[in-house]
Amino acid sequence: MSRYILRRFLQGIPLLFVISLILFMLMMNMGDPIATMGGRSIVRPEERARLTRQLGLDKPIYVQYIYWLIGNDWTKVDLNGDGIAETPGTRHGILRGDFGTSLVNRGESVVQVIGDRLPNTLLLMVASEIVVLLGALLVGIYSALRQYSALDNILTAILFVGYSMPIFFVALLSMYIFSVLFKRWGLPYLPTVGMFDPPVGDTVGQVLLHMILPVLTMSLVSFASYSRYIRSTMLEVMSQDYIRTARAKGLPRTTIVYIHALKNAALPIVTVIGLDLPFLLGGAVVTERIFAWPGTGRLFLDYLGRGDVPVVMGILMIIAVAVVVFQIITDIVYAWLDPRIRYD
Amino acid sequence: MPGWIRGSGMIEKKNSMTAVTAQPKVATLIQDELDTPPLTLGQLTWRRFRRHKMALIGGIVLIFLFFYAFGGSLFASEKYANFNDTSISMQQPSVAHPFGTDAIGRDILARTIYGGQISLIIGLFAVMIETFFGILVGALAGYYGGVLDNILMRITEAMLNIPEIFLLIVMAKFFSGKIPDLEITGRTFSGSVVVIVVIIGATSWMYLARIVRAEFLSLKENDFVLAARATGTSNAEIIFRHILPNSFAPIVVTATLGVANAILAEAYISFLGLGVQPPTATWGNMLDGANNYLDTAPWLWFFPALLILLTVLSINFLGDGLRDALDPRSRAS
Amino acid sequence: MTALLEVNGLRTRFHTPEGMVYAVNGISFHVDEGETLAVVGESGCGKSVSMLSVLQLIMVPPGEISGGVALYRGQDLLKKTDNEMEAIRGKEISMIFQDPMTSLNPVLTIGRQIIESLRKHIGMDQKTAEHRAVELLDLVGISDGLRHLDDYPHQFSGGMRQRVMIAMSLACNPSLLIADEPTTALDVTIQAQIVELITKIRQQVGMAVIWITHDLGVVAGIADRVIVMYAGFIVEEAGVDAMYENPRHPYTSALLNALPRVDQRRGERLKSIAGAPPSLLVEPSGCPFVRRCEYAIERCKIENPPLTLVEPAHTIACWVDIRTGVPR
C-alpha cells in the first residue's frame, strides 16, 4: 500500500513537468510583458532594454523556462547592458514558491495577488462540492431503494435536462427568478453581485446570503451528472450476485442498500470525485464573472485581458498542481477503501 | 462542462433469459419452423434505436433545429440580421420582432437564425478536428505501444489535467485578431470563427484519444490482426482497415456527444467575450453582457440560451440512444 | 406427512425488450423433511428461476411470478410481502449460489457476512455471534476460524469461498437448503469435497436439500429423488435409483445415453441430443421436447402431456411409452 502511494506520487512528477512545459510555451506567446508593465505610457528604448534583460526575455526559451522553474538567484544578470553579468538574480523559481511579480500590480508578488482571491473561490468550490455530493448521494440511494417508482422516473428526466444545461443558463435563469422576479413580486430576494453589500459590511451572514446563487449555479450541473452516475452505479451494484446473496440471507432492505451496496458503489464514486475538479474550476470562472464574485476565476480573466503573464501563469500552474495532487489523493483513497487492493 | 460524464450512461442490467435459436431439421415427422427469424446487425441496431424513443425525439428536434438555422436564412437575410437601428433597440417580443430586439436594435429572431448556423457549424467542424486528432493519437499510442504510447499518453494526460476552459481562454486571447475575416459564398465570416473551431478541437481530442487507445489495446490482441500481419498487411492498413472499423461504435458516440460539448464550449467562451466577435452572431456571444439587462430585457438572453439548451439536450438524447443501440452490452430501460 | 415444501403450478415469466420470456411454465413438486431433491436440466431450463421464485428473489420487474403456490409448512410463500419473506430467507430456507467469487461481498469481511445473519435472525450479540461463526467455519472444514473472521473473500480460494458460503447459509439452522449449482464453478476434486461436506452436514442436522445441477454424476451421489426439467416444465420425477435404471421420458433417457461411459468401445461416437432447446420467447404449446424427440407423434405437437404416474413415485410427462414406442 505504501509502495502504491509512493508510486503514484512519483508518477505525478513527470506529469507536472510536462504540464509546466505546455503552459510555459502557451504563455510565451501571450503578449508583451514590457508593454503591460508600462501601462499606457510608452516605454523608452533604454528602459525597454533594461527591463528585457531584467526579466530575462533576451535569453533563449529553455533558459527562460529554467529561470522560471528554479529561479536565477544562483546566477548573475546583466542589468546595465555592458555584456557582463554582474547583478545576482532575485528570482527563486516556482519550485521554491516564487511565482514572480505581478506586472499589473507592480511590486506585489504573484503569490500574494492570487492568495488574496483564492479563499473566495475555495469557499464557493467547497460549498458546491458538499451540496453536490450530499444531494447526489440522496438521489442515488433513493433510486436504489425505489427503482421504477414514479418519482424515480421524474427525477431521471429532470436530471437529464439539468445535466445538459449550460452553466450560464442556470445562472441567468436563477438570477432572473430569485432576484428579479422575487423582487417584483415583493418576496425576499437574493443578491447577485459580489460577496457582500458594502453598506452592510463583510459579515458572515452577508457572505452566506451572497453565496446562495453562485453555489446553486455551480452545483446544479455537477449535481445532475453526479446523480446520474451515482444512480447508475448503485443500480449496477444492486444487480450484482452478492446483493442477491444478501437478500437470500433475509437481510433488511436498508442494510442491503446502505452497507452492502453503498460500500461497493463508493469505489467508483470516489474516482469520479477526483476527476471532477477541473470542471468545478472551469465552472468557477463563468460563475465568478456572472456574479462579480472576487475570486481567482475573475482574477484570471481580468489579468489575462491586461496581459499580466506571471499572475496568469501562476494561476494555471496552481490549478494544474491542484488537479494532479487531488487525483493522486483520490487514487490513494480508492486503494485504501478497496480491500482487494489494500491487503495485497 | 461535464465532459467526462459522456462516458457513463444509465446502465441497468436486465435479467435476460432469452434463448433465441435456429432450428435445424431433426425428426422427419415434424416440419421445420423458425420461431424468431435471424436479424441483420443493421436491423438489430435500428430496432434498439427505435425502442429508445427519447433518442428519436432528440434526433427529430435536432433536424428541426438544423432547418431553423439553415432554412431560416430563406426568410431573413443576413443583412437584416446585422441591421441595427438604435431607435427600436430593446423592444419586447412583438409581432414585428417575435424575439424582441437587442441593445442596438437588431432583430433577435434573425440573429438566432444566423447565430445558430455559426454555432452548429462550429460544433461540427470542431468535432471533426478533435475526432481526427483523437483517432490519430489514440491509434498510434494503442497500436505501437511502448515509448510512443508513453509520450503520447503523458501529453494527453497533461492536457486533460488543465481545465478546458482555461486553455480555451488563453488560446483565444492569443489568436485574437490574428486571423482575417473570411469571404465564403458572398458572406463575411469573422476570422474568430476559425480560431474558435481550431482551439475547441485542439482542447477536446484527449477524450477520444483515450477511448480509441483502449479499443486498440484490446483489439490488437485479436486473431484477425495476427492473421492480417501474417499475410503481410502493412501496419497502416491494419490500423485503418482492420482495427479502426471495429472500434466504430465508441467513436461515433463520443463524436456525437462531442458536438454538444463543442457548442457549449463555444457558448462559454463567447459569453466571456473571447469567442466569436460581432457582427458575426453566435448563440454564445448573444449572451455576452446579457446580465446587465437581466431585469429589463430577459428576452435578450432567454432565446439564445434556450436554443443552446435544446440543441445540447437533443444531442445528449441522441448520443444516449446511439450508445445503447451500438453497444450490445449496455442496456437502458 | 405433509411435505416441508410443496410447490404447485408455479409460473414465472420475464418482460424483456425482445418480448415475454416464459421461463417457468407451471411446475409442481415437493420436498419432504430431511430429504435431498435434485433438480436436473440444461442451462436455461428454468431450474434456477423456479427456486429463486419460491424465495421471491426474482427481480420484479422485469420478472413476474404469474401463477402458482409455494407452501412452506403450509404457508404460501408467494403471497408473503418482502418484509415477511425476510424472516424466512436465511432462517428457514437458505440458498447458496453457483459462483462463490461473485456471490460474496468483496468489501466486507467474511466474519461480518456470517455474523450479520446471526444477529438479524437470532438476535445474538457480537461476542456470541463470533463464537458461533467460528463453530460454523469449523463445521465446514475451515480451521483457525477466529483468525479468518477478519479476512476478505478475495483472500480465499474458490473452494474455501464456497465453504464460507455454506457456513453462512447454515448459520441459523434452516430446515431447507437450496443449493444452486454450488460445485459447477469449482475443480472436480473440490467438487467432491463440497458434495461430501453437504452430505455430512445434512445427516448431522437433518436438513432438507434441493440440489440444482446439470451434472448427472453429482445427482447419483447425493439425491434421494430427482426431477428433470426442460424448457420450463418438469418432464420426469422419480427416485434416484428408478431414474438411472429406468428412465421413462425421452429427454431423460437421451441425457443418460449422452453420458460418456467407461465401458464404451473405442471410436464409438458419443451420443448427443440433436437440435437445441426451444425459444422461451414463444408461449409454449405442445410438448416442448417435440422437435428433438425420437419418439414424437402428431399428438405431441399439439398437446402438452401432463405429468402422470407410470410406476409408484415415478411420474413422466409424455404421450409415448419409450420402452415400446407405442402411445400410452
Q: How is B227-243 classified by DSSP, letter by letter?
A: HHHHTT--HHHIIIIII
* Cβ pair C89:A338 closer than 8 A: no
Residue A260: DSSP 8-state: I
pLDDT single digits (tens) C268-287? 777 788 778 888 888 888 88
- pLDDT grade for C11, boundaries at 50, 70 and 90: very high
User: What does the pLDDT average to over A229-256?
Assistant: 90
C121 at interface of A, judged by CB pairs closer than 8 A = yes
How many Å from the N-terminal Cα to the C-terminal Cα in chain B? Answer: 26
Q: Which uninterrupted H or E stretch holds C230?
A: strand C225-230
Distance from CA of A122 to the nearest CA of B (A): 16
Q: Which residues of A246-273 are buried (b: 16+ CB within 10 A; e: fewer)?
A: bbbbbbeeeebbebbbbbbbbbbbbebb
C288 at interface of A, judged by CB pairs closer than 8 A = no
Closest by CA position to A257, among listed A234, A282, A273: A234
Query: What is the rounded distance in angstroms from the CA atom of residue B187 to the CA atom of residue B79?
Result: 10
- pLDDT grade for B13, boundaries at 50, 70 and 90: very low
Q: How many CB pairs below 8 A link A and C?
A: 81
ipTM of this predicted structure? 0.86
* Cβ pair C104:A242 closer than 8 A: yes
Give the phi and the psi of residue C327 in degrees, each rounded to 5: -60, 145
Which comes out higher in pLDDT, residue B22 or B64?
A: B64
Q: Which three cell numbers stand for residue C99?
A: 459462483
Please give the share of chain A, as a percent, with pLDDT higher than 70: 94
- pLDDT grade for B28, boundaries at 50, 70 and 90: very low
Give the phi and the psi of residue B182 in degrees, each rounded to 5: -105, 150
Among B18, B23, B27, the residue with its CB nearest the CB of C16 is B18
pLDDT value, residue B19: 25
- pLDDT grade for A40, boundaries at 50, 70 and 90: low
pLDDT value, residue B41: 67
Query: What is the rounded distance in angstroms from the CA atom of residue B49 to the CA atom of residue B331?
Result: 11
Q: Which three cell numbers stand for residue B255?
A: 463524436
Residue B321: list chain C partners with CB under 8 A.
Answer: none
Q: Is the pLDDT assigned to residue B22 strictly greater than 60?
A: no
How many Å from the N-terminal Cα to the C-terminal Cα in chain C? Answer: 32
List own/partner pairs for A162-165 with CB under 8 A and 24 or more apart. Answer: A162/A220, A162/A221, A162/A223, A162/A224, A163/A221, A163/A224, A163/A225, A163/A228, A163/B2, A163/B5, A163/B316, A164/B260, A164/B309, A164/B312, A164/B313, A164/B316, A165/A220, A165/A221, A165/A224, A165/B309, A165/B312
From the CB of residue A81, how many other CB atoms can be counted at a distance below 10 Å?
A: 12
Query: What is the rounded distance in angstroms from the CA atom of residue A342 to the CA atom of residue B144?
Result: 33
- pLDDT grade for A37, boundaries at 50, 70 and 90: low
Q: Is the pLDDT assigned to residue B18 strictly greater than 60?
A: no
pLDDT value, residue B45: 66
Q: Which uninterrupted H or E stretch holds C6?
A: strand C5-16
- pLDDT grade for C319, boundaries at 50, 70 and 90: confident
Minimum mean pLDDT range among A147-156, A218-227, B192-201, C31-40? A147-156
Please give the share of chain A, as a percent, with pLDDT higher than 90: 6
pLDDT value, residue B27: 36
pLDDT value, residue A31: 66
Average confidence score pLDDT of chain A: 82
Among A15, A275, A279, the residue with its CB nearest the CB of B1 is A279
Cβ atoms of residues B271 and A172 within 8 Å: no
- pLDDT grade for A266, boundaries at 50, 70 and 90: confident
Average confidence score pLDDT of chain C: 88
Which comes out higher in pLDDT, residue A274 or C234?
A: C234
Query: What is the rounded distance in angstroms from the CA atom of residue B204 to the CA atom of residue A285?
Result: 19
Q: What are residue C21's DSSP bridge partners?
A: C14
Please give the share of chain B, as a percent, with pLDDT higher than 90: 10
Q: How far is CA C65 from CA B14, C21, C62, in A?
A: 16, 12, 10
pLDDT value, residue B25: 31
Q: How many CB pairs below 8 A link A and B?
A: 157
* Cβ pair C14:B48 closer than 8 A: no
Q: Which three cell numbers stand for residue C186?
A: 469449482
Residue B1: list chain A partners with CB under 8 A.
Answer: 279, 282-283
A90 at interface of C, judged by CB pairs closer than 8 A = no
Q: Is the pLDDT assigned to residue A246 strictly greater than 60?
A: yes
Three-class DSSP category at A9: helix
Query: What is the rounded distance in angstroms from the CA atom of residue C13 to the CA atom of residue C158?
Result: 32
User: What does the pLDDT average to over B50-72?
Assistant: 82
Q: Which three cell numbers stand for residue B61?
A: 428536434
User: What does the pLDDT average to over C239-254?
Assistant: 89
Minimum mean pLDDT range among B79-88, C205-214, C220-229, C312-321? B79-88
pLDDT value, residue A108: 81
pLDDT single digits (tens) A290-341? 888 888 888 888 888 887 888 888 888 888 888 888 888 888 888 888 888 7
Give the phi and the psi of residue A195 in degrees, each rounded to 5: -95, -20
pLDDT value, residue A181: 80
Q: Is the pLDDT assigned to residue B100 strictly greater than 90?
A: no
Minimum mean pLDDT range among A222-236, A273-287, B32-46, B275-289? B32-46
Residue A172: list chain B partners with CB under 8 A.
Answer: 287, 290-291, 294, 301, 305
